[in-house]
Amino acid sequence: MSYLETTHNVYKEAALTPDVGLCCTTNPIWELPGLKIPKIMQEMNYGCGSTVHARDLTNNPKILYVGVGGGMELLQFAYFSRQKDGVIGIDVVDEMLEASRKNFIEAEAQNDWFKSDFVALKKGDAMHLPVDDNSIDVAAQNCLFNIFKADDLKQAIAEMYRVLKPHGKLVMSDPTCEQPMNETLRNDERLRALCLSGSLPIAEYVKALTDAGFGTIEIRARKPYRILDPKNYPTDELIYIESIEVAAIKDPMPADGPCIFTGKAAIYYGDQDYFDDKLGHVLLKNQPLAICDKTAGALAALNRNDIFISESTYHYDGGGCC
């Protein structure tokens, strides 16, 4: 049995018998005016963060969500795209698609604004999306890409890039891990399916996105997630896993490489009202400016004694140097 078959079976079971906290526990329940999320959707909430951000969802965007997980994030996306087939939900597990259809009936009963046909559910897998090229404004996945091994991850990211419109966004939440994992953990198919042993270091995760052509990467949040301890897992050391929320934007790749935002800021505190590096970055005196890592390196290379550059906070709210 391949690891993808194991994953299929895990989520088939989770669709037939909802398993609270099966793999993930930190996906927020949005509190928005008029939005009520059925309890069954919360019980089938198999995500490790959120991919729903209001700033990404203006002007009735066309949205793609891969790995439907009971429909909660699909419902949240539909809140911002109230049109027939405004949201496309794709899953390879028939039972999960059927569970979502049933859950949408309950969502209709609790939300006057919602109609099930706002969401088009389709069977398909992340490596072969049944979606046209350049047709999606916002694509999303939550706690899915970390399951894939290298070649499958490369293909899944390429598929998301293909279907996005120019300047479209791929919004993701996945576990990451900076510590090395032994081969026993890496090759444990069930632990991989449970979003644990496939976790990559952030740098590798980001490189997979930029290798696919995404010109801008935003790391929006980084937070504690899980522990793999020697008493319960095949490891000699305690392994700390985090989850991150990331947006990859289908911008043209800059000639000098991608713009990667990891939550750094620059503050100018010199004698003038502002500092202009003549490369498009103007720092107003005593006003922090969010900067990408590339700009942080260029400013640091100036060796000025009147510009402070923060460490990465791994929290980014938009705006800034690019």
The residues facing 248 across adjacent strands are: 170, 217
Strands 216-228 and 259-261, by their bridges, are: parallel
Residue 288 makes CB contacts below 8 A (sequence gap 6+) with 265, 266, 267, 310
Query: What DSSP state is assigned to residue 85?
Result: T
pLDDT of residue 22: 58
The residues facing 290 across adjacent strands are: 265
Q: What is the pLDDT of residues 60-96, one digit of tens each?
A: 999 999 999 899 999 999 999 999 999 999 999 999 9
Q: Assess whether pLDDT exceeds 70 at residue 1.
A: no
pLDDT of residue 285: 97
Q: What is the pLDDT of residues 160-190, one digit of tens each?
A: 999 999 999 999 999 999 999 999 999 999 9
Instruction: Give the angle 18-177-221 at the CA atoms, nearest 5°.
Output: 75
Structure tokens at 97: 């698609």
Residue 13 confidence class, pLDDT cut points 50, 70, 90: confident
Average pLDDT on 53-58 reads 92
pLDDT of residue 152: 95
Residue 180 makes CB contacts below 8 A (sequence gap 6+) with none
pLDDT of residue 69: 87
Q: What is the pLDDT of residues 200-229, one digit of tens each?
A: 999 999 999 999 999 999 999 999 999 999
End-to-end CA distance of the chain: 46
Q: Assess whether pLDDT exceeds 90 at residue 248.
A: yes
The residues facing 123 across adjacent strands are: 91
Does pTM surpass 0.85? yes
Burial class (CB in 10 A: 0-12, 13-18, 19+), 220: buried
Whether the Cβ atoms of residue 307 and residue 289 lie closer than 8 Å to each other: no
User: Which of residues 28 and 103 earns the better pLDDT score?
Assistant: 103
Residues 136 and 184: their CA atoms lie apart, in Å, by: 39
User: Which of residues 318 and 30 earns the better pLDDT score?
Assistant: 318
